[in-house]
Structure 1
């Protein structure tokens, strides 16, 4: 399992691995009980752990930085039911965190998610999907194609697909289209009936 395939699903507890994605949702496997289910994008949102950022007193940092700080700190994880212990833990582990904007519920999630990742032996590391997308775009542009990258927040580098830019209408197409519109708009003459 790779860190970049792990997601949180709104309305569902725990973490999930994306098995495959579809246009109307994704097939995910729970890291807790290993069950597989379909998650509809109409009902739930998927948030890749890679894309989650945490408020700090300076610039926002990626969640992976918090996890790495937790991993390198040998302090025992706090009980998620004790709010003071949670805040004290994160003050030691990542003192730059903005505790006015990072709520206790967020800290609880971070501790629970960190435990799940450790229990499943998932290596916590950030990947660089932007480089792969740029390489695909450069290859297509070198072949004389214009490229528009269509990437959604829930897409990974594996599911993001470059799309070709729509072609411009030629002058001939515009003239034909204009003539068809004029023909439709012109009033039709009634045929005289013979009596």
Structure 2
């Protein structure tokens, strides 16, 4: 079960897994009794746990950071109804909390929520933590490539370039005739044919011989 799907609903105790959303509400499943039901958004408000922050004497922290502190401390959870025991518990677990702005009812609620999350096997992890880790790894890889010595570039092949330049300068242009080639003989003009309207002159008859 993913932490980013866990929500709190005003007017309803405990925590719920968000199964699906609708225009007028959502279908949720209780982490306490595992019952599924529809909850109207017109009557109740929904709050994702990963969007909840907790007051401290410095900057606010995400609720999941407080849950991780409880997990890492190894302290046994106090009785929810014992207000003094609950406050003493958080003083040990996270002494930097701003206890002037955090009510006892809030601390009791956080103790109950932590117990429900651990019982349900929910991993205490924000949905964008995996993306941040991948981004940091990518940044480190880029930094390593930048500091690495660049590979030596191969020397340019000067001899090949020189031969290619000489060959291009010695070769005659494609359209220019060779210098030693003989000039082509001029073509004889063909006799102009007679016009179609002209008739050939009649041949003269030879004079008869005298006897």
The TM-score with structure 2 as length reference comes to 0.60
Aligned to 2:83: 83
Matched residue SS, 1:33? coil
Q: Determine if the alignment matches structure 1 residue 113 to structure 2 residue 113.
A: yes
Q: 1-side partners of 2:61 and 2:18: how far apart?
A: 24
Q: Which runs of 5+ in 1 are unaligned?
A: 132-195
Aligned to 1:68: 68
- Give the CA deviation at 1:126: 1.1
Aligned to 2:128: 128
Higher strand share: 1
Report Cα offsets for 1:13-72 as digits up to 9, x if no partner.
Answer: 110000000111110000111111111110000100000110000111100000000000
* CA RMSD between the two structures: 1.5
Aligned to 2:58: 58
Matched residue SS, 1:28? strand
The TM-score with structure 1 as length reference comes to 0.65
Q: Determine if the alignment matches structure 1 residue 14 to structure 2 residue 14.
A: yes
Report Cα offsets for 1:70-117 as digits up to 9, x if no partner.
Answer: 000111111111111111110010111000000100000100000000
**Higher Rg of the two aligned structures:** 2
